[in-house]
Amino acid sequence: MYLPLLALAIAAFGIGTTEFVIMGLLPEVAADLGVTAPAAGMLVSGYAIGVAIGAPVLALVTARWPRRKALLTLIGMFVLGNVLCAIAPNYGLLMAARVVTAFCHAAFFGIGAVVAADLVPERRAQAVALMFTGLTLANVLGVPFGTALGQVAGWRSTFMAVTLIGVAAAAALALWLPKTIPMQAEQSMLREFRAIATPRVQMALLVSTLASVSMFTVFTYIAYILRDVTHFSDHAKSWVLLLFGAGITVGGLLGGRLADWKLMPVLAALFVCNAVVLAIFAWTSHFQIATLVTLFVWGIFSFAVVPAAQVRVLDQARAAPNLASTLNQGAFNVGNATGAWLGGVVIAAGLPLTNLPLMGAFVALGGLGVVVASALYERRGDAIAHA
């Protein structure tokens, strides 16, 4: 069972790299294409919006496809999109290429997470976390080394390198995915959409969205914070991002284990920890050593939420796991887009960059509120059902 999980993780590594590496290269992209920092930040929002739009569209298109065929088709879209990013001659076409790349994102992670959970049913959260290890490694290796490559050879070279990763992922999926993967019994799409329209599922999706808003309000503009507030050199930025990625890797694996233990208390605690760490980062960002420590700890807490939130959605939408899992990726990326926009609003208003972590902390507290409300609603519903 571990070779299919490894194949899914390789694909997740490529997808995560192309999503996140743009943040380390925003100053270079902005300078090359002659746009402002907030406009460059919209490349993050554009990708996220593409994921959000692609989630329901491709969920409908691939609903009755064999899972193996769906995953291979989606990774093919990913390769095409990155080729277009690498050759885009201007800002508008780069934005369009990012949207094309993003279309496959939600459906791939959605179907892939369900496949991973089904392959190891006795350890569902840990199996999902293993797949998402590829996403975390994208932050450990893909983002810092992709940033370094882009600074040395131009940002387009980074997207060509990601294209090669996509080709390797396609080969691994073709070789290691089972020829036949069991699917849930067929039901109408209307019934599936009704299953995910319940308050429990919608609150679970909102948890994912707010976790992402909190993170991306800050992370989208991390290159500017490291350059203008902490005063790291361009060379040092790559190593700082490497450290942050190491924290994310630890957090992704830790979150899977904790979620299999006590899901809702863990989610609540993680939102509290994120709020506290971001509030601290508003101060520590002025000091290089303190920034390194803070970013590592923030990486742990911010990404520990991902597998926990994913499993929460699957638990609340057992009647439509493929659709719910895919829409959850859309929810994460609605958060990415909103966070990038929110951070851009702070910058455009002329406020200090140190206000970005404070805004992220405020959003994390909102996420805590939704987790608590969701738990209370579930408890009330269970009490009524047993009355």
pLDDT one-digit tens code per residue, 269-317: 999 999 999 999 999 999 999 999 999 999 999 988 888 887 888 778 7
183 located within any domain:
no
298 located within any domain:
yes
Q: How many domains does the chain have?
A: 1
d(CA 89, CA 32): 10
pLDDT of residue 247: 87
Q: Which of 267, 283, 347 is nearest to 315 (CA)?
A: 267
Cβ 87 vs Cβ 156: under 8 Å: yes
pLDDT of residue 76: 92
Q: Which of 368, 266, 365 is nearest to 312 (CA)?
A: 266
215 located within any domain:
yes
Indicate if the pLDDT at residue 234 is higher than 80. Answer: no
**109-165 confidence digits (pLDDT tens):** 878 877 887 777 667 667 777 787 787 778 778 888 888 899 889 899 999 999 999
For residue 64, the Cα-to-chain-centroid distance in whole angstroms is 25
> Is the pTM of the predicted complex or chain greater than 0.75?
no
d(CA 200, CA 387): 19
Q: How is residue 68 written in tokens?
A: 């193996």
d(CA 150, CA 143): 10
236 located within any domain:
yes
Q: What is the 3-state secondary structure (H, E, C) of 72-92?
A: HHHHHHHHHHHHHHHHCCCHH
Q: What is the CATH number of the domain that holds 306?
A: 1.20.1250.20
280 located within any domain:
yes
pLDDT of residue 160: 94
* Phi, psi for residue 193 in degrees, rounded to 5: -65, -35
Which one of 19-23, 100-104, 143-147, 157-161 scores highest in mean pLDDT? 157-161
182 located within any domain:
no
Range with lowest mean pLDDT among 89-93, 145-149, 236-240: 236-240
**190-225 confidence digits (pLDDT tens):** 667 777 778 888 898 899 999 999 998 998 888 889
Cβ 231 vs Cβ 356: under 8 Å: no
d(CA 86, CA 82): 6
Q: Which of 334, 333, 315, 314 is nearest to 324 (CA)?
A: 314
- CA–CA distances in Å: residue 18 to residues 102, 161, 221: 9, 10, 16
Radius of gyration of the chain (CA): 20
Q: What percent of the chain has pLDDT over 90?
A: 32
pLDDT of residue 74: 92
- Residue 84's pLDDT band, with cuts at 50, 70 and 90, is very high
pLDDT of residue 334: 84
Which of the pair, 365 or 306, is modelled with greater confidence? Answer: 365
DSSP state of 220: T
pLDDT of residue 52: 79
Which amino acid is located at 176 in the chain? W
- Residue 383's pLDDT band, with cuts at 50, 70 and 90, is low
State the chain's mean pLDDT as an integer.
85
- CA–CA distances in Å: residue 181 to residues 111, 113, 114, 115, 172: 11, 13, 11, 8, 16
CB atoms within 10 A of CB 60: 15
113 located within any domain:
yes
pLDDT of residue 289: 93
Indicate if the pLDDT at residue 186 is higher than 60. Answer: no
Contacts of 349 (CB under 8 A, 6+ apart): none
Domain hosting residue 13, numbered range: 2-177+188-386
User: Scanning the structure block, which residue is given the tokens 């206000």?
Assistant: 355
Q: What is the 3-state secondary structure (H, E, C) of 101-162?
A: HHHHHHHHHHHHHHHHHHHCHHHHHHHHHHHHHHHHHHHHHHHHHHHHHHHHHCHHHHHHHH
CA angle 262–267–270, rounded 5-degree value? 120
Q: Which helix (H) or strand (E) holds 170?
A: helix 155-176
pLDDT of residue 34: 86
Indicate if the pLDDT at residue 249 is higher than 70. Answer: yes
d(CA 345, CA 348): 5
